[in-house]
Structure 1
Amino acid sequence: MRVAITRVLLAVLLVLLAVAVLQPLVDRWLVMQSAPRPVDARGSLSEFETTSVRLFETISPSVVQVGVPHGRFTQEMESGTGFVWDDAGHIVTNNHVIENGTAIFVRLVSGQVFKADLVGRAPNYDLAVIRLGPGASHPPPIPLGSSRDLKVGQAAFVIGNPFGLDQSLTSGVISALERRLPTSGDREISSAIQTDAAINPGNSGGPLLDSAGRLIGVTTAIYSPSGANAGIGFAIPVDVVNRVVPTLIRTGRYPTPGIGIAAADERMAAQLGINGVIVAQVMPGSPADKAGLIGLNLASGTIGDVIVAVDGKPVQHLANLVSGLEEAGVGAQVELTVARDARQRTVPVQVVDIGG
Structure 2
Amino acid sequence: MRDRFSRVATVILIALLAALVGQPYIDRLLFAATSPRAVAARSYLAESERATINLFERVSPSVVQVVGSAAGSGPTDFEGEQPREQSGTGMIWDAAGHVVTNNHVVNGTAHVAVRLASGDVVPGTIVGTAPNYDLAVVRLQNPRRLPAPITVGSSADLKVGQAAFVIGNPFGLDQSLSTGVISALKRRLPTGSGREIGNVVQTDAAVNPGNSGGPLLDSAGRLIGVTTAIISPSGSNAGIGFAIPVDTVNRVVPELIKYGRVPTPGIGIVAANEAVATRLGIEGVIIVRALPGSPAAKSGLRGIDQAAGEIGDVIVSANGQPTRRLSDLTDQLEAVGVGQEIELSIRRNNRSSTVRVRVQDISQPS
Please confirm whether the aligned pair reaches a TM-score higher than 0.5, indicating the same fold: yes
1:69 is matched with: 69
Cα distance, 1:269 vs structure 2? 1.1
**Letter of the 2:163 counterpart:** A
Matched residue SS, 1:327: helix
Q: 1:292 to 1:41 in 2, by over 3 A?
A: same
- CA RMSD in angstroms comes to 2.4
1:196 is matched with: 204
Counterpart check, 1:54 vs 2:54 = yes
Matches within 5 A, 1:186-335: 186-335=194-343
Match of 2:165 among 152, 157, 160: 157
Work out whether residues 127 and 139 of structure 2, in 8 Å CA contact, stay in contact via their aligned partners in 1.
Answer: yes
Question: C-alpha separation between the residues in 2 aligned to 1:239 and 1:341?
Answer: 39
Work out whether residues 181 and 203 of structure 2, in 8 Å CA contact, stay in contact via their aligned partners in 1.
Answer: yes
1:38 is matched with: 38
Matches within 5 A, 1:142-181: 142-181=150-189
Match of 2:359 among 346, 351, 355: 351
TM-score by length of 2: 0.90
**Letter of the 2:116 counterpart:** L
User: Identical aligned pairs, as a percentage?
Assistant: 60
Matched residue SS, 1:203: coil
Question: C-alpha separation between the residues in 1 aligned to 2:260 and 2:153?
Answer: 24
Work out whether residues 215 and 223 of structure 2, in 8 Å CA contact, stay in contact via their aligned partners in 1.
Answer: yes
Matched residue SS, 2:193: helix
Instruction: Give unmatched runs, 5+ long, in structure 1.
Output: 1-6
**Letter of the 2:149 counterpart:** P
Q: Deviations over 1:213-254 (max 9, x none)?
A: 100000111112222211111111000000000111111110
Question: C-alpha separation between the residues in 2 aligned to 1:140 and 1:276?
Answer: 47
Question: C-alpha separation between the residues in 2 aligned to 1:97 and 1:24?
Answer: 58
Matched residue SS, 1:43: coil
Runs of 4+ in 1 over 3 A off after TM superposition: 7-24
Q: Deviations over 1:93-149 (max 9, x none)?
A: 001110111100000111111100111111111100011102432211111110101
- When the two structures are aligned, how many residues end up with a matched partner? 354
1:130 is matched with: 138
Question: C-alpha separation between the residues in 1 aligned to 2:9 and 2:336?
Answer: 104
Counterpart check, 1:102 vs 2:117 = no
Question: C-alpha separation between the residues in 2 aligned to 1:261 and 1:21?
Answer: 88
Question: C-alpha separation between the residues in 2 aligned to 1:13 and 1:209?
Answer: 69
Cα distance, 1:154 vs structure 2? 1.0
**Letter of the 2:123 counterpart:** K
Question: C-alpha separation between the residues in 2 aligned to 1:59 and 1:8?
Answer: 76
Matched residue SS, 2:153: coil
Instruction: Give unmatched runs, 5+ long, in structure 2.
Output: 1-6, 75-81
Cα distance, 1:42 vs structure 2? 2.5
Cα distance, 1:9 vs structure 2? 12
Cα distance, 1:86 vs structure 2? 1.2
Is the deviation greater in 330-339 or in 33-42? 33-42
Work out whether residues 131 and 192 of structure 2, in 8 Å CA contact, stay in contact via their aligned partners in 1.
Answer: yes
Matched residue SS, 1:117: strand
1:3 is matched with: none
Cα distance, 1:328 vs structure 2? 0.7
**Letter of the 1:66 counterpart:** V
**Letter of the 1:76 counterpart:** P
**Letter of the 1:52 counterpart:** T
Cα distance, 1:13 vs structure 2? 9.7
Is the deviation greater in 284-293 or in 51-60? 51-60
Q: 1:12 to 1:258 in 2, by over 3 A?
A: closer
Is the deviation greater in 182-191 or in 16-25? 16-25
Matches within 5 A, 1:72-87: 72-73=72-73, 75-77=82-84, 78-87=86-95
Match of 1:88 among 96, 103, 106: 96
Question: C-alpha separation between the residues in 2 aligned to 1:104 and 1:144?
Answer: 25
Q: 1:17 to 1:348 in 2, by over 3 A?
A: closer
Question: C-alpha separation between the residues in 1 aligned to 2:13 and 2:266?
Answer: 100
Question: C-alpha separation between the residues in 1 aligned to 2:17 and 2:209?
Answer: 64
Match of 1:120 among 103, 116, 128: 128
Work out whether residues 345 and 352 of structure 2, in 8 Å CA contact, stay in contact via their aligned partners in 1.
Answer: yes
Matched residue SS, 2:179: strand
Q: 1:104 to 1:33 in 2, by over 3 A?
A: closer
Q: 1:26 to 1:277 in 2, by over 3 A?
A: same
Matched residue SS, 2:35: coil
Matched residue SS, 2:45: coil
